[in-house]
Amino acid sequence: MRDFYGVTLPNALMLGTAQYPSPAVLADAFRESRAGVATVSLRREAGQGQAFWSLIRDLGVRVLPNTAGCHSAREAVTTARMARELFQTDWIKLEVIGHTDTLQPDPFGLLEAATVLCAEGFQVFPYTTEDQVLAARLLDAGCRVLMPWGAPIGSGLGLNNRHGLRMLRAAFPDVPMVIDAGLGLPSHAADAMEMGFDAVLLNSAVAQAGDPVAMARAFALAVQAGALARDADPMGVRDMGVPSTPLIGKAWL
């Protein structure tokens, strides 16, 4: 497991805390997922109050506040500052939304906000696209982690641009990367890990499942399987079939 700003997580799964049927289901899902990080929106915490914050603390995982719902750099920076004061952490998942329908990140606002927050000592996890130029600018601004989207938030489509994601992973091999958003099935998470990404972050796929607890466990197993497969050095892809049974010893008629 790669370090995230010097922190080695116990699991490659990061899980959101919104949309669960009940606080009890949320807690049970986290236990089954074995997630090492809980993402929390400042708006979510403010709406639920002290009871929700107590629940999150009881999960015993690292908290990653996010700037969900922000549509400008100024709004995201203000939200991040408030989150640091409330959650007592320099970690921040930086979202600056640029498109209402797709929820695609605004690359210009994202870079502007990341530059400000990194200068203020935040450890920024930027929600970005697979654009390599933007990735390089975010790293130059001080980010040490990248969080490219798999697909639009909440869509469940999986990895929309596999080629772009592979190219991004190859271009920055030493940068910790988390696939964030758009995953709907455990197979999507396994796919991301097999491609060489270091973790996945999801919320709706678990929270909106018919059985969130069972789905959380399924994602935990999928992330583990994907990482094991990647580390096992998978066989190469071939254009033609190759027999698995040796020809030596075959009876010739």
Strand order in the sheet with 13-16: 147-148, 123-128, 91-94, 62-66, 37-41, 13-16, 199-202, 178-180
Beta pairing partners, 198:
none
Q: What residues are labeled active site? A: 93
H-type alpha helices, the chain: 23-33, 42-48, 50-58, 73-87, 107-119, 132-141, 162-171, 186-194, 204-207, 212-231
Sign of CA dihedral 169, 154, 39, 126: positive
Check whether 204 is labelled as a binding-site residue.
yes
Check whether 49 is labelled as a binding-site residue.
no
Sign of CA dihedral 36, 41, 42, 45: negative
Check whether 226 is labelled as a binding-site residue.
no
Per the document, the length of the chain is: 253
* Alpha-carbon span 44 to 154, nearest angstrom: 17
8 Å CB contact between 97 and 123:
no
Check whether 182 is labelled as a binding-site residue.
yes
Q: Which residues participate in the annotated binding site for 1-deoxy-D-xylulose 5-phosphate?
A: 154, 181-182, 203-204
Instruction: List binding-site positions.
Output: 154, 181-182, 203-204
